[in-house]
Amino acid sequence: SSELTQDPAVSVALGQTVRITCQGDSLRNYDANWYQQKPGQAPVLVIFGKNNRPSGIPDRFSGSSSGDTASLTITGAQAEDEADYYCNSRDTSGKHLVFGGGTKLTVL
């Protein structure tokens, strides 16, 4: 089982705001990164570090954290945002990298 826990599925109405969470003890000491994966495609980094977006990622994507929980927020979700979202960070030992189980986002 993963040391990072994500809700399996979340839905959001088109144009509304959605928060996807990632919970784990290691997040008290390490930042989470976020990836978007669409069917049949490789994952894409959307947020890294505290709240940094790689070039080309829309500014409707943002990251935050509090205590043992990191969050990815999509403000004004678009149809093309429908995808699986994964968080990653280090485990509690700091020695290994781990992923959350993923959240399937449906845009209604």
Q: Which residues bind other proteins (CB under 8 A)?
A: 2, 33, 35, 42-45, 48-49, 54, 86, 88-90, 95-102
Judged by beta carbon, residue 17 or residue 29, the one nearer other proteins is: 29
Minimum distance of other proteins from residue 16's CB (angstroms)? 26
52-75 burial code (b ≥16 CB/10 A, e <16) = ebeeebeeebbbebeeeebbbbbe
Judged by beta carbon, residue 10 or residue 44, the one nearer other proteins is: 44
